[in-house]
């Protein structure tokens, strides 16, 4: 499945454990076979995430940006559930 989406996540890409929200969403996208571009934002201080804050109005990561500029910013568990259920693919596909 080829979709042009951007995953906005923290710059701690080396953290790959189930307790990390950014990793959980990235892993769900990988397992679903959804292609994405990583957009890294500073882990700390959160106030340095100025471009991200302007994009979605929040300091909290992660979020998914669609090709049309729509930003899906939910709790990571909700994003993962949306991806795993196929709802995400249906929403953008």
Rounded to the nearest 5 percent, the helix, strand and coil shares of the chain are 40, 20, 40
- Has residue 1 got a pLDDT over 60? no
Residue 4 sits at the vertex; the CA angle it makes with 85 and 37, to the nearest 5 degrees, is 95
Nearest-angstrom CA–CA distance, 89 and 86: 5
**Structural domains of the chain, ranges and CATH numbers in brackets:** 22-92 (3.40.30.10)
Q: What pLDDT is recorded for position 46?
A: 86
Burial of 93 (0-12, 13-18, 19+ CB in 10 A): exposed
pLDDT-based confidence at 88, cuts 50/70/90? very high
Per-residue pLDDT tens for 25-75? 999 999 999 999 999 999 888 889 999 999 999 999 999 999 999 999 999
pLDDT-based confidence at 85, cuts 50/70/90? very high
pTM over 0.85: yes
Strands (E), the chain: 5-10, 36-41, 63-66, 71-72
């Amino acid at each position: 499945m080829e979709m042009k989406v951007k995953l906005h996540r923290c710059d701690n890409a080396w953290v790959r454990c189930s307790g990390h929200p950014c990793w959980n969403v990235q892993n769900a996208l990988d397992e679903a076979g959804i292609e994405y571009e990583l957009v890294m934002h500073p882990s700390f201080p959160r106030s340095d995430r100025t471009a991200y804050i302007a994009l979605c109005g929040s300091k909290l990561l992660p979020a998914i940006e669609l090709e049309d500029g729509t930003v899906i910013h939910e709790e990571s568990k909700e994003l993962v559930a949306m991806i795993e259920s196929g709802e995400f693919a249906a929403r953008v596909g």
